[in-house]
A and B are shown apart, each in its own frame.
Chain A
Amino acid sequence: METLDKIKQQIAENPILLFMKGSPKFPSCGFSAQASQALIACGEQFAFVDILQNPDIRAELPKYANWPTFPQLWVEGELIGGCDIVLEMFQRGELQPLIKETAAKHKTDTPAE
């Protein structure tokens, strides 16, 4: 599958999706670590893609997203932002309702990996 199609499919199939370096348990970058910590603190399941394991996605996604860096949080097909935005939203109490409402809406769907 073309990388771009793969990206679009991942974004379409996972309502809460974090593209990051490493995994939430073993992040390979401080910014990815902070973003995934904030997401975990929201208490809902989310999907992630380790871009270090997927160099094609790492190369293509910034162009598609019009966002130059990682991590990237996508919710319901829309880019929310990178680490600073995720943290700022979390501190303002805006991230939690967004994640909770999205998770509740998609509960009947197949859970993400």
Chain B
Amino acid sequence: MLIHTAIEQKLLSAFDPVFLDVVNESHLHNVPQGSESHFKVVIVTPAFNGMRLLQRHRAVNAIVAEELAEKIHALALHTYTPSEWYEYYAEKPPVSPRCYGGNKTEKASV
């Protein structure tokens, strides 16, 4: 199984997150192509309510301890409770870019 998938599955079952994004960022680092060495995790779960950042990171690190110990080199963590997450995005919502005309523009310019 890919390390990527293993991390995702472990975090899904441990924290029942409302949002989870596991990103392989290895291509940004000095490792061979196709490596699974550097990951970033964005996780939003009510399980973090009342936990300080240190405790949240420890909780995540514990779930992927095997991967951290033997397989991966870096794990960037961004941990939020649902209310923090909504507050965070209230200021900068993750909007997709607006349409610039697409097919119509292309056809029009032909």
Contact = CB atoms under 8 A, between A and B. Distances in A.
A80 interface: yes
B76 A85 contact: no
Interface string A79-94: 1111111001100000
A66 B58 contact: yes
Contacts of A84: 57, 76-78
Task: Tell me whether chain B's interface is mostly helix, strand or loop, or mixed.
Answer: helix
A12 to B, nearest CB: 20
B61 A85 contact: no
Nearest to A86: B53
Interface residues of A, number: 14
A31 B68 CA distance: 16
Contact of B75 (A69, A79, A80, A85): A69
A44 B11 CA distance: 38
Contacts of B61: 67-68
